[in-house]
A = this chain, B = another copy of it.
Amino acid sequence: MSSTFPSKIAVVGSGAVGSFYGGKLAHLGCDVHFLLRRDLETVRKNGLTLRTEHDAIHLPRVNAHGSTEDIGPCDVVIVAVKTTANRDLETLLPPLLREGTVLLTLQNGLGNEEFLAEHFGVERVVGGLCFVCLNRGEPGEILHFGHGSLSIGEFRGPPQARTQTLVEIFRQAGVETRLVENLITERWRKLVWNIPFNGLAIAAGKAAVDAVLADQGLRTLARNLMSEVIAAAGKLGHFIPPEFGDEQIARSFEMGAYRPSSLIDYEAGREVEVEAIWGEPYRRAVRGGVDCGRMETIYHLVKRLAATGLKP
């Protein structure tokens, strides 16, 4: 591994997450290439801005591309498209690949590493979980409300040097980054919160976190959903201690009227990541032999609501 690895990085899916983490690396001085669609011309002209409440990082010149052919082979590809667009990756990614190209998926939920492994080879795949509150602002502008840490791990096998290097680079770029031993366990831990709170936000009539917690029935249901997710993860070999559920409820009380990203998508009429957050975990739980009636109910309701909500 050369000391300059990764010399060339692509960001596929330059929404809030891709632009934020890619922008951090570009700001550090990495050679980052963004695949853009809607905001291509604006970013070419004005660059990218990562704005917090108090300050902003402005990147006046970024490598903005309209196609992955235009970018060409890279050392690392940050995959940050919405999981509902995963099929597009089958044609988007090949021009970016050479031997040893690492695919770092920063996507939500379960099934994304498997998808990349199946199509592009398991040895390429690294996963990352983002703990960050972001929104898109004006074209070329990302609003950063808080947090920002990453947890990165190999999809399969023990950590490799390349993954440790990625962690180091993100840290140098100012991103609090952790190397995790069991990536999929981390994904399940995140789902312990996302399945109930993103789900009830939609199914309980556009309910922010505080509204779910204020309704005793919904709060109990959220906690019981957590227990189902923890039980499912455990059956599938991903141990999460039972008290983690109580910790997550306690943590949620500090969030106030936070609106989960799925609710924001739903209200805006955008696609909701139904399969990655509810469908795939539910199917794995069933395969694991877990009775998960609450996960089943919330999955089918969110799926239906998201599908009908998309209609004009």
Instruction: State the A residues within 8 Å of B (CB).
Output: 200, 203-205, 207, 215, 217-218, 220-221, 224, 228, 291-301, 303-305, 308-309
Q: Is the CB–CB distance between A224 and B293 below 8 Å?
A: yes
Question: Looking across the interface, which residue of chain B has its beta carbon closest to that of A228?
Answer: B293
Copies in the complex: 2
Interface-central residue, A200, A294, A295, A299, by most chain B CB under 10 Å? A294
- Enumerate the 3 nearest inter-chain pairs by beta-carbon distance, A residue then B residue, closest first: A293-B293, A217-B300, A297-B297
List the B side residues contacting A203 at CB < 8 Å.
203, 301
Please name the residue on chain B nearest to A299 by beta carbon.
Answer: B217
Q: What chain B residues lie within 8 Å of A228 (beta carbons)?
A: 293
Query: Given the interface contacts A203-B203, A291-B291, does A224 sit within 8 Å of B304 by beta carbon?
Result: no
Task: Give the shortest distance, in Å, between A135 (CB) and chain B (any CB).
Answer: 25
**A220 lies within 8 A of B300 (CB):** yes
- Residues from chain B with a CB closer than 8 A to the CB of A224 are 293, 296
Contact B296 A221 (CB under 8 A): yes
Q: A294 and B291 in contact (CB under 8 A), knowing A304-B205, A304-B207?
A: no
Select from chain B the residue with minimum beta-carbon distance to A308.
Answer: B205
Pick the residue among B204, B220, B296 that contacts A301 (CB under 8 A): B204
* 30 chain-A/chain-B pairs, Cβ below 8 angstroms: A200-B301, A203-B203, A204-B301, A204-B304, A204-B305, A215-B300, A215-B304, A217-B299, A217-B300, A217-B303, A217-B304, A218-B301, A218-B304, A220-B300, A221-B296, A221-B300, A221-B301, A224-B293, A228-B293, A291-B291, A291-B293, A293-B293, A293-B294, A293-B296, A293-B297, A294-B294, A294-B296, A294-B297, A297-B297, A301-B301
Closest to A227 in B: B293
**Given the complex, which residues of B lie within 8 Å of A218, measured CB to CB?**
300-301, 304
> Once the chains bind, are B298 and A297 in contact (CB under 8 Å)?
yes
